[in-house]
Amino acid sequence: MKLKFHPPLDRIFGPIRDWPLDEPIPVATFLRSLSQEAPALAPYAGFGPKDVQPYALLVWRKGKALTLQDLLHPWDEVELMPMVAGG
């Protein structure tokens, strides 16, 4: 699976990275694995047992925001970007 990281996440992982994936996995499982590899991601990618989205991270595929339950496939191209609030 190909991953694109938007700032400031690109400082942790680089702008683009391949993630080995043999079979489909839920977004939640992927984020847990990624956070174990890079604990600096945890404040963005954390979530509770009843959450639908991570605390402060958008996971996009083909212009659509994914939920924690959505499946990621080996051929996917996924973007990860921190949520921004303000106004």
pLDDT in the model for residue 87: 60
Q: How confident is the model at residue 84 (pLDDT cuts 50, 70, 90)?
A: confident
Once rounded to an integer, what is the mean pLDDT over residues 61-70? 97
Contact indicator for 9, 81 with CB cutoff of 8 Å:
yes
Mean pLDDT of the chain: 94
Region 66-80: mean pLDDT is 98
Given a cut of 80, whether residue 56 has pLDDT beyond it is yes
CATH of domain 2-82: 3.10.20.30
Dihedral sign (CA 10, 13, 17, 18): negative
- What are phi and psi for residue 9, nearest 5 degrees? -65, -25
H or E element, residue 11: helix 10-13
Q: Specify the pLDDT at position 86.
A: 65
What is the DSSP secondary structure assignment for residue 48, as one 8-state letter? -
